[in-house]
Each structure stands twice: as structure tokens, then as C-alpha cells.
Amino acid sequence: MAIGILYREELREYDFGPGHPFRGDRYEAFVHLIRESLTEDDSYRILESDWATAKDLLLICDRDYIDFTTEFYKAANLGLEYAGPFAQFHSADNEPGGKPGKVEEAARLVIGQAKLACDLVQGGDFEKVVSIGGGLHHAQRDYGEGFCLYNDVVFCALYLLENYGLERILILDTDAHAGNGTSSYFYQTSNVLLIDMHQDPVTLYPGTGFANQIGEGEGKGYTINVPLPVFAGYDSYELIFNEIVQPVAEEFRPQLIIRNGGSDPYFEDGLTSLGLTVSGFGMIGKRVAQLSAQLCQGKVIDLVASGYNRRALPYAWLALICGLAGIQISLPDPEPIPQRFTRDNAFEDTKAIIREVKRNLSDFWRCFSTA
């Protein structure tokens, strides 16, 4: 079965303007590469969704946040000043520079894609659907940050719980930054298991996602943070799948997997300091596909937006998607791999972190009880 890819040209409007790290041309580069590399009918289909409705947004956001965000970014796109308490609703990294695109409209489109992805997978149209532009995991119910306005990761999970009666959803966050927004929604719930592997928060925004942050109340044990040492690469990620992701997922038995994260663990990302090459992204996609085949009838919703090395981004995204879809393709790294990244020099430090994670969670998961 071909994989479904949700994309439309209006996603280019998710652009914070000149000088900002998050620009809209990222999407065009990926679409150009996939169309150049693969035949659409045989391996994938690109589909368009509608924009989210006001009711959709209220599933994940407070009304006053939606109202401010809508009006502020509409004015910014028109080159106008908007008198309002920006700092109350957004962090400084969400402030546009120069003339931004229609950022809020594009953010609604991302939520629309999340909704359609859920419907397509649950309706049996596709086993796996990818939302290009998705994975906006820093946004919270009443606060936007980290280039994120509305959290489509959370929308997928809540929509599936409320509309399809799912009881166990695994969110696997492989973005280089911790998904603090996603965590804030599910920190006290047990029907959503969040496994979040990211760069050590001592060294990277948002400064959360430590190994001892494991949830509260009914959700204690259902947030699993795996903070990776700087320069962690292929071997570290593979070990985390073997030692953390696989055994916990087998015990949890999810009915569907939501994965989010783009290319920012790449070794020359520009904003981060991890060590994946293009082949590492393919491995992540492949492992998610294997896990879904084993546990949840192949059902995956994949959300892809991040990455700040423009040369590497389309190759890493395509490697992720091909790994997920089981498509055999040879993709080069678009730049020479430095000597320090030809082996995973952080591997021993990763082993120590995994031991810590298991100790913190040994009271909650049988697979870690002997750690």
C-alpha cells in the first residue's frame, strides 16, 4: 500500500520572515526531491487537506489564545502593528522578522492535515500517513513558542481518543528538542505514552525533558524522556530503540503510533548538536514501521517539519519517509561527513543515560524492573 503524504502549497506561508530560522521554502525543497526520486502512484500519494475549523482549534487551545494569535499574525502579514500583549501568548522566538507569511493560516492548515491523517488511517485508506509541516510540539494550550503556534501532535492524540475511542496511543518524539508542549498536555494521563528522545536539555532549548521528568498522578511513568549527549549518532539512537522504545512499546501495546520530528538531529543542523547522518533518519523510519507492524496493524501518523540545514533537510525527511514506507532508496549525505561523526563517540554516555532512564521507571514498567 502506498503511503499518504499530506501537503499543499499554502504550507509555504508558515514562514516567520527574513532573518528567522523557520522559513517556508523548506517544504518546496522536500517536495521537489521526492518527486524527482520516486514515482508517486507506486510508492506514495500526495493529498491535500482543508484548514482546521474554529471547533478543531478549541480541542487544543483556549479561545483567547486563538483570537490573539489569529489577529496578530494577520496584521504582521499585512505589515501592520497589532496592539496586544504578545509576551502573554508567545515567546520571542515566535515573533516574525520583516514581512512574514500567513503564519496563522498555515498553522490551521497543519491542524487540518492532522485531522485528515487521523481519519485516513482510522478509515483504512492508508496504514501510514505523513503530514508535511507537522510536529509543532512546543505549542501549549495558551502559549506558543519554539516556532510553534498550534500543537498538531496533541491534536492527533486527542482527536483519536475522543472520536475513535482509542485507549492507548504512543507518541514517539525524535525531534532534537524536547516536546515540552506535548508533554504539558499528557503529563498526568496514562492513555498516551510519550517517549521523547532529544538533545540534553542542559545544552539546548527548551531546557526541559530530563530523565527524572516521568509524569505525575495517573500519568506517572507514562512520560519517558531520553536526553541524548551532545554528538550522539546512529548507534545511540539504535540502542535507545532496542533498550527503551521496543520493550516499553511491547508492554504498552499501543493501538496507533504518532511520530514527530524532522531533520534537526542532523550532524550539521545549525541550531542543534547531535550526530545523525542521512542513514540514521532512514533507520528511525524503519524501526517505527517495524514496531507498528508488530503492535498496531501498521498504523502510523508521521509529522515532519523541523530542520535548519537547508541542504540536508529534504534528504533526511525523505530518508525518514522511505524507511517508514519500506521503500528502498539510496540517499547521499549532501555534504562530507566530518571525521568525528564517522563513529558515535557519545555511545558510552548514551549507555549511562539509558541506565538512568530505566532506574527512574523501574517501578512502572516490568521490562525495566531488573535494571
Catalytic residue chosen out of the listed positions 90, 138, 177, 198: 138
In sequence order, the 6+-apart residues with CB closer than 8 A to the CB of 317 are 30, 132, 262, 263, 281, 304, 307
- What angle do the packed helices 278-295 and 313-325 form, to 10 degrees? 30
Q: Using the structure block, give the residue that is written with the C-alpha cell 501498521.
A: 298
Beginning with the edge strand found earlier in the chain, give each strand of the sheet holding 128-132 in spatial order.
Answer: 44-47, 3-6, 128-132, 300-304, 256-260, 169-173, 192-199, 223-228
Question: Is 138 an annotated catalytic residue?
Answer: yes
> What is the C-alpha to C-alpha distance for residues 91 and 93, in angstroms, rounded to an integer?
6
Q: Using the structure block, give the residue that is written with the C-alpha cell 482509542.
A: 166
For 230, other C-beta atoms within 10 Å of its C-beta total: 16
Q: Are strands 223-228 and 256-260 parallel, antiparallel or unpaired?
A: unpaired
Pair 244, 224: CB distance under 8 Å? yes
> What is the C-alpha to C-alpha distance for residues 176 and 93, in angstroms, rounded to an integer?
17
* Beta bridge pairs of residue 260: 173, 303
Enumerate the active-site residues: 138
